[in-house]
Structure 1
Amino acid sequence: MRVLMLPLLQSALQQHMDAGTIPDVPGVYSISLPWTPGVHVPMLDWLNAVPLYPQCYWQHRDGELEAAACGGVKIFNRLAPAQAFLAAHPARDTLRLWGLNAFGHGEGEPESYLFLPRITWQRERQSHQLILNLASDGSLLEDARLCAAQLAQLARLPGAGPLDPFAAGEISAAHQPERPQWRQMIARALTALREQQFAKVVLARRTRLVLSGKLRSAALMAASKAVNHHCYHYMLCWSPGRAFLGSSPERLYRRRENRLDTEALAGTVAADGPSSSAAELADWLMNDDKNQRENLLVVDDICQRLHPAALSLDVTPPEIISLRTVQHLRRTIMAQLNCRDDVRCLSMLQPTAAVAGLPRDAARRFIARHEPFGREWYAGSAGYLSLAQSEFCVSLRCAQVENQSVMLYAGAGIVEGSDADQEWREIENKAAGMRTLFAAESAEPAG
């Protein structure tokens, strides 16, 4: 299958160059084209066929927005310069930067990875749009010539064919921490809770899978998307063998002008059980004191953090969100902001109490001391940044792909009364959203 996207972009770019509308000055220039795909080619199939990196795929959990972006015209490893870049071009308030924000960055580690794509294929509901971006600190016309050469090279490649079925099998698995060390870590957390060092801490496990076959990140993303419904789906590929991707149920926030929507997704039970139906487990979750306390702690923290920047705040009653392997408690928080500032929004909301704990700084110090790995992009956020509208999901239910190995991550909220074995079962259920995509070829080591 050949998608006639590249010839269309080539023609549009040449028309702009011939008309002299692309100036020989520094700046940003975008060409946007409404588009009706002639044949149905999934965006992930198209990205897989285009060797232009970095690449980003993102789909909203309700399916209303889907985007495939590739090629880094501008790349930012911190949020503030990214926002300043957008602010310098206010006439282009829909210009979007796509990527990730890290959970917490140490010395020398990136805070973010956000990029202005060369090419974006974007769908909002049933409307498709192609966007070609030029950017230069010297000459936009020179970047247009470079872009024309890139498009010509890409147009000579074979068309986008269907992704091969995902078939990478699990050869071995190793947890950090293993189950005995997990119990010890939970015991230390419960001691700290009794000493009132914090009210909640979220502790995580990383699982390294060694795989039997070659792993294509787009195929793994497609497989996760096919079974993990009602989730944000996100993928950032730096190269064919290196990517971070996942299917997360949780919104960090969406900002439209000065209106911000966020949520508290905390409190978890299995989607089904050997002796209980999903409805019975949902009813238990709605009435369980420990899980309700955990959710309300997150709500209170979000409201306190937003209060200095909010003209008004509203919170909805709790509801049950049912996913493939787990069910969650969710409350939605809506705020009217006194200014549009995504750096401030990220600082206030990330990491949430649902992925770090309360008080946030004390919980993060405990995590840094006791978790046996760095979280990096896990429990950070994935999405897009623009002046008019920004949205990020919490980067959960995720995988870090490195050639023929994959790191999976899952965490559990520890409060007074938590049980280590019950929390282990919770992270098993959460990790299953990604891990069950791999056909096990050997038994998991005992833990």
Structure 2
Amino acid sequence: MNSVVIALQQLQLALNAEFADAPGLKQLSFALNLSNASDALAWLTSQPLYPQFYWQQRNGDDEIAALGAVRHFETLNTARAFLDDYADQPTIRITGVNAFDPAKSFLFLPRLEWRRTGGGAFLCLQLYSDTSLQDDARAAQQFLEQILPAKQLPLQRLNCVGEQHFPAEPEWQQLIGRAITAIEEHQLDKVVLARATDLQFTTAVSAAGFMAASRRVNLNCYHFLMVFDASHAFLGSSPERLWRRIDNALRTEALAGTVANHPDDHRAWTLGQWLLKDDKNQRENMLVVEDICQRLQKTVGAIDVLPPQVVRLRKVQHLRRCIWTDLTQPDDAACLAMLQPTAAVAGLPRDVAHDFIAQNEPFEREWYAGSAGYLSQRQAEFCVALRSAKVTNNIVRLYAGAGIVAGSDAMEEWQEIENKAAGLRTLLTKAAF
């Protein structure tokens, strides 16, 4: 077992070997001692190299810190095709994010990946070239020479000097009115409408510090950070799995229906019991379940829908039903096409709801309500990119959405998105993170 520093030295020594002056893909990997390994997020965001991608599974068993891109992929289809070309290398992972429009992705084969799975951790270096692995090994040496020691994640004292909602509250009420009219006219069964909130600060916001603060307090969530360059990042702490695949086994879920959380356990339990019995929230959740099952049925075996659960988060509680099945073949591109966007982030019917969102929301969702994660030959996992924010220098854009169905109330839905946004907002408006 090695520290990160020793593993990096071993990688540099391994690159002195002879590599073929021919196309190819090769992974070099050394085990890490978890007791000595630095925090993956701190190590990753100490580097002056981009892109950077951090991802942690919501149960904490899987963690990725990916640095530098050997190969970019603009769609998940092309990423999956690349993996299929190298089916003899099942440990290779491609990481990144898919936009709300699943035809657009920012996925990459990392040059260097800090990977923890269960009790084991590894530092992996990828070599790839469509002309000469020998040349890419020299490029990898130069890359490793730029790696810096991990620094402590920054503490910031932020001063918010501006705030703007898109839409503002009066426009939100009008938007909900249009949605309810469309539902009453049977154009839609449900539409999920979102709000973007821009917060302006006096200094640039550290996306790494923001992510670390969220990771500390937003428990039972996936945590993800996509740093495109020194000024632009997208991050979030999401409770919702889009899909997990191990070989042909598929796990997905319907997370829809919301009530506030409460610091008192008994009060929180009472609210959760109300959520389990509330007709509006149950209907909202079952619409998502039925939609997922309908989309899956042509490409899977038997579908098991588990009983409803209440998921308790820091600011809100959600209704969740897990859905388990087996794919006829392990096709991640098909999973993305079938499952994103789900009815929990878009609505029903999906195409009609998607059009309503495009025509009526006053901002572009971009990566919000898309997905973040990884894919490989044997397994893949993506979370829905919710409870998320875009960081651009000193501007932070927070996103939150609410499912609109028959009987929805505009003011109640406004309060719901306030509660959802508070999971990240309170971190920015506290004294420091």
Letter in 2 for 1:372: P
Structure 1 stretches of 4+ moved >6 Å: none
- Cα displacement string for residues 168-196 of structure 1 (whole angstroms, at most 9, x for unaligned residues): 23221100000000000000001000100
**AA aligned opposite 2:109:** L
Q: CA deviation at 1:212?
A: 2.4
Q: Residues 10 and 151 of structure 1 are in contact (CA less than 8 Å); yes or no, is this contact kept in structure 2?
A: no
Paired residue for 1:445? Answer: none
Partner of 1:123: 116
Kept after mapping to 2: 8 A contact 1:98/1:114? yes
Q: Give the aligned partner of residue 260 of structure 1.
A: 250
Distance 1:38 1:224 in 2: 23
Aligned to 2:132: 139
Pick from 396, 412, 425 the counterpart of residue 386 of structure 2: 396
8 Å CA contact 1:13–1:144 kept in 2: the answer is no
Which deviations, in whole Å up to 9, do the C-alpha atoms of 1:341-381 show, x marking residues without a partner? Answer: 11111000000000000110111111111100111100000
Provide Cα deviations, 1:407-433, integer angstroms capped at 9, x if missing partner.
100000000000000000000000001
- Could you say which residue in structure 1 is the equivalent of 2:16? 17
Partner of 2:412: 422
Match of 1:153 in 2: 146
Q: Out of 83, 90, 94, which is 1:93 matched to?
A: 90
Q: Kindly indicate whether the alpha-carbon contact (under 8 Å) linking 1:382 and 1:392 is maintained by their aligned counterparts in 2.
A: yes
**Structure 1 position 47, deviation (Å):** 1.3
User: Identity rate of aligned residues, in percent?
Assistant: 51
d(CA) in 1 for partners of 2:337 and 2:13? Answer: 42
1: CA distance, partners of 2:249 / 2:57: 18
Normalization by structure 2: what TM-score? Answer: 0.96
Is the deviation greater in 121-130 or in 406-415? 121-130
Q: Is the 8 A contact 2:45 2:52 kept in 1?
A: no
Give the whole-Å Cα distance in 1 for the aligned partners of 2:319 and 2:34. 39
RMSD: 1.7
Query: Offset of 1:330 from its aligned partner?
Result: 0.3
Q: Which moved more, 1:218-227 or 1:265-274?
A: 265-274
Counterpart code for 1:246: G
Contact kept in structure 2, 1:309 and 1:337, CA below 8 Å: yes
Query: 1:391-418: CA deviations, max 9, x gaps?
Result: 0000000010100001100000000000
Per-residue deviation at 1:335? 1.0
Q: 2:133 aligned with 1:181, yes or no?
A: no
SS in 2 for 1:90: coil
Partner in structure 1 of residue 239 of structure 2: 249
2:338 paired with 1:341: no
1: distance between equivalents of 2:389 and 2:159?
15
Q: How far, CA to CA, are the matches of 1:371 and 1:15 in structure 2?
A: 52
Within the candidate set 23, 33, 44, 1:47 is matched to: 44
Structure 1's unaligned 5+ residue stretches are: 442-447
- How far off its partner does 1:4 sit? 4.8
Offset, 1:164: 2.1
Of the three residues 62, 66, 70, the one matched with 1:65 is 62
Q: TM-score, normalised by structure 1?
A: 0.93
Residue in structure 1 matched with residue 260 of structure 2 by the alignment: 270
Q: Contact 1:312 / 1:337 at 8 angstroms: preserved in 2?
A: no
Whole-angstrom distance in 1 between the partners of 2:253 and 2:243: 7
Mapped to 2, the partners of 1:66 and 1:354 lie a distance apart of 26
CA contact (8 A) 2:7 2:31 kept: no
Q: Does the 8 A contact of 1:10 with 1:152 survive in 2?
A: no
2:112/2:124 contact within 8 Å kept:
yes
Are the counterparts in 2 of residues 252 and 392 from structure 1 also a CA contact under 8 Å? Answer: yes
SS for the counterpart of 1:85 is helix
Partner amino acid for 1:102? A
Secondary structure at the counterpart of residue 74 of structure 1: strand
